[in-house]
Amino acid sequence: MNQFTEAAVARNPAAVQLLGLCPLLAVSNTVANALGLAIASTVVLTGSAVLISAIRKLIPEDVRLPCFVLVIATFTTLVNLAMEAYAFDLYQRIALFVQIIVTNCMILARIEQVASKEGLGRTLLDALGTSAGFAAAILILGAAREILTLGFPLAALPPGAFLVAGLLLAGVNAVAARQRRAQDPTVQDGPGRGRAGKTGP
């Protein structure tokens, strides 16, 4: 499996690592908002990861975290300004959640684990894969909530976000468990066997 699909599917930030859940739950009430946040996250993650990979040899080990956060904050502010200037309606709806991309641990994690160690090619693939995985998760959640709202108004409200996200995660876990059983019939489902919520390789 190459870097892109591994980052997008096997290590999906939202469904497998459960990272970036605050914007995921808050902005997934419509597909349009979800798409806006997915694009903003993609620009910030890809831009920061590529820049940090390019200058990784110049960043001293001791101050690498402040440097990473500085770069992420700069990209976040740029995206925020661009959105305020060129997509004002969207900005008015999701500006708060664009601003807090800077604290998204999904982004800091990819930069600490990949961009600060690997070359440009692998970093770019990993960042795009992670972004695609996040975008898929938030768009599916956004679409599900927007459709469910038609018959079930709660789906658009904050509690609805938790309910729908929980059901989707349960679905992802069920599919993953079935695949593991299909590959190896002797595997028993037990705690910590690569289910949602378990981070790491």
Partner 1 sequence: MRPLLRNVAALAALTLLAGTVLAWFAQVTEDEVASNRLEAELRILRELVGVEVGAGVGAPWRVRQRRADGALRDADLVLCERGLVVLRGAGDGYGGGFRLAVALNLDGAIKGVRVLEHAETPGFGDILNTPSEWLDSFTRGDVHAVTGATITSEAVMAAVSRAVNRTRLDEMCP
Q: Please give the residue ranges that form the binding site for partner 1 (CB under 8 A).
A: 58-60, 62-63, 66-67, 70-71, 73-74, 77-78, 81-82, 84-86, 88, 92, 96
Output the smallest distance, CB 80 to partner 1, in A: 10
CB 9 within 8 A of CB 137: no
CA distances from 24 to 123, 186, 198 (A): 23, 36, 18
Output the smallest distance, CB 13 to partner 1, in A: 24
Output the smallest distance, CB 12 to partner 1, in A: 28
List of residues 6+ apart from 33 with CB closer than 8 A: 27, 90, 93, 94, 142
CA distances from 12 to 25, 37, 201 (A): 16, 17, 12
For partner 1, the closer CB: 49 or 67: 67
For partner 1, the closer CB: 1 or 58: 58
Output the smallest distance, CB 59 to partner 1, in A: 6
For partner 1, the closer CB: 20 or 47: 47
For partner 1, the closer CB: 94 or 125: 94
Output the smallest distance, CB 180 to partner 1, in A: 41
For partner 1, the closer CB: 88 or 199: 88
Cα(29)–Cα(157) distance, integer angstroms: 8
For partner 1, the closer CB: 87 or 143: 87
Output the smallest distance, CB 74 to partner 1, in A: 4
Which residue carries 């990819």 as its tokens?
Answer: 110
Helix (H) or strand (E) holding 139: helix 120-149
Cα(183)–Cα(163) distance, integer angstroms: 31
Distance of CA 150 to the CA centre of its chain: 27
CB 143 within 8 A of CB 29: no
